Amino acid sequence: MPDTRNSWFDKSMTLRECEMICLKNCSCMAYANLDITGGRSGCLLWFEELIDMKELHENGPEIYIRMASSELEVSTVQQAGIKGKKGKKREIVAVTLALLIGLLLLGMSVTLYLQKKKRKNSQLNKDGNVMNLEQGYTDKGQKEDLKLPLFDLAIIAHSTSNFSINNKLGEGGFEPVYKGMLEGGEEIAVKRLSKSSRQGLDEFKNEVICIAKLQHRNLVKLLGCCIQGEENMLIYEYMPNKSLDYFIFDQTQSTLLDWPKRFHIINGISRGLLYLYQDPRLRIIHRDLKASNILLDFDMNPKISDFGMARSFRGNKTEANTNKVVGTYGYMSPEYAVDGLFSIKSDVFSFGVLVLEIVSGKKNRGFYHPDHHLNLLGHAWRLYKEGRSLELIDEALWDSYYPTEVVRSIHVGLLCVQQSPEDRPSMSSVVLMLGGEGILPQAKQPGFFTERNVLEAVGSSRKKAAGSVNEMTITLFSAR
């Protein structure tokens, strides 16, 4: 049987449905029953070149291979697993004519089939089934199958040294990530879903659906997935320089990111977000934009990652409400954290926080200043009103920054974190403002600007170890 690297399967299809799906796709080279034990259920399709990796036994499964019409004139129709016999010339002609008539009838039946039955929605289940992944455009003519390459579990296990602790890159809420290397030398990052987490499975499905067709230089590239037994894994391109937080929040590593590199990263993130929003048919809201979800490639180009929390909007819809607020404190917009209302402007708020963190080298959450109890947004706002925005800059940038670019970046960041979503700029405006030289509108007070009441014990310990990110703070909000 051919190698399944470029294959697709669905356990719910009949063999007849499998044949029709294959015939209507010019890239489909062969199909077979998924149930190799002798049953008649399930569909396994091969695309592009067929690579033989296993010997076909006499009593093995049947595989149906696409043939050129010219070959049918000189040979019988070939089915792997069944020993072909040469027939007489008239028998070949008869078979050829029968196939031509059958194809005409099949074309008519496929048309009726498509009119009566809607395509199945994207779904991955816990048993490891990969069903038809479909972008849910409202325009039926725009629906396309999402063909995501499947990797064999043995290949992934070998590439990661059987998921060795030495290959572990990190771990998110539900998925450890491992570095791997394929036989051809390509480095990959493998996100392995925790077997015990149902919530992680939902995020796994969501990430596949949201990112499978996204292609942009500032978005991490999904190479494929591995779904076998209880294993559910996503395979990404490998990012050698880890994540942004590894650099900007570390006193030593921050010196490796001078101002030109940081400004390049800010612009790259803004272009990646703009790409997510600019398609009028399907907009992706990330909902967890933060420094640790910005990966850096070999040339320090930023790539937005981790779409497990993302949601999509179709058509003209631009906002939604949720009963379950997910994300990271310090990056969530006020309307999302308080009321569960998220939109494109929620991501704009998170981007603004990220800009101020990149400029200052400080985290918004846990920020400490001896003169007040404001968070990073409040501190930046105070400096902005007093005309002292340059004081926000990271000390590691003092020898490399350009004052106009720094001040402009801080100004844009403050515009993005304004309290009201209506006051925040769109990402298209953000991209233009960062790259332009025009006059920017005055920024209004940022969200979550209220000064914090810090416990006395915590306050005294902070004086001894200023800026420690491991200490707890309690924030109390009072009405105005």
Q: Is pLDDT above 50 for 469?
A: no
Backbone angles phi, psi at 347, to 5 degrees: -65, -35
H or E element that contains 159: helix 153-159
The whole-number pLDDT of residue 264 equals 97
Report the chain's mean pLDDT, rounded to a whole number: 78
Q: Is pLDDT above 80 for 273?
A: yes
Task: Return d(Cα 188, Cα 375) in angstroms, integer.
Answer: 38
pLDDT tens-digit series, residues 72-107: 554 444 444 444 444 456 677 777 888 888 887 787
Tell me the mean pLDDT in the region 143-150. Answer: 59
Question: What DSSP character marks residue 289?
Answer: -
pLDDT tens-digit series, residues 98-124: 888 888 778 777 666 655 544 333 333
Choice among 16-25, 28-37, 343-352, 438-447 with the minimum mean pLDDT: 28-37
Tell me the mean pLDDT in the region 263-275. Answer: 96
User: 245-450 adopts what CATH topology?
Assistant: Transferase(Phosphotransferase); domain 1 (1.10.510)
| Residues of the chain above pLDDT 70, percent | 72
CATH code for the structural domain at 153-237: 3.30.200.20
The whole-number pLDDT of residue 170 equals 84
**Tokens matching residue 212:** 């499978």
pLDDT tens-digit series, residues 280-334: 567 888 989 999 999 999 999 999 998 888 887 765 555 666 656 777 888 999 9
**Does the annotation mark 250 as catalytic?**
no
Q: Is pLDDT above 90 for 476?
A: no
The whole-number pLDDT of residue 178 equals 94
Tell me the mean pLDDT in the region 433-446. Answer: 92
Hey, what long-range contacts does 52-61 have (CB within 8 A, 24 or more apart)? 52/1, 52/2, 52/3, 53/1, 53/2, 53/3, 54/1, 54/3, 56/1, 56/80, 56/81, 60/1, 60/36, 61/1, 61/32, 61/33, 61/36
Sorted by where each begins, the domain ranges of the chain are 7-117, 153-237, 245-450
pLDDT tens-digit series, residues 220-248: 998 988 888 888 888 999 999 999 999 99
Residue corresponding to tokens 């048993």: 127
Tell me how far apart the 2 most distant CA atoms of the chain are, in Å. 98
Contact 446, 417 (CB under 8 A): yes
The whole-number pLDDT of residue 198 equals 52
CA distances from 388 to 132, 317, 443 (A): 56, 40, 15
pLDDT tens-digit series, residues 363-386: 998 888 888 889 999 999 999 999
| Residues of the chain above pLDDT 90, percent | 38
Instruction: Tell me which of 35, 258, 288, 339 is the catalytic residue.
Output: 288
Provide DSSP, 172-210. -SS-EEEEEE-TTS-EEEEEE--TT-HHHHHHHHHHHHH
More confident residue, 11 or 206: 11
Please check whether the two domains, 153-237 and 245-450, share a CATH topology. Answer: no
Task: Return d(Cα 377, Cα 5) in angstroms, integer.
Answer: 49
The whole-number pLDDT of residue 40 equals 60
CA 23 from centre of chain: 31
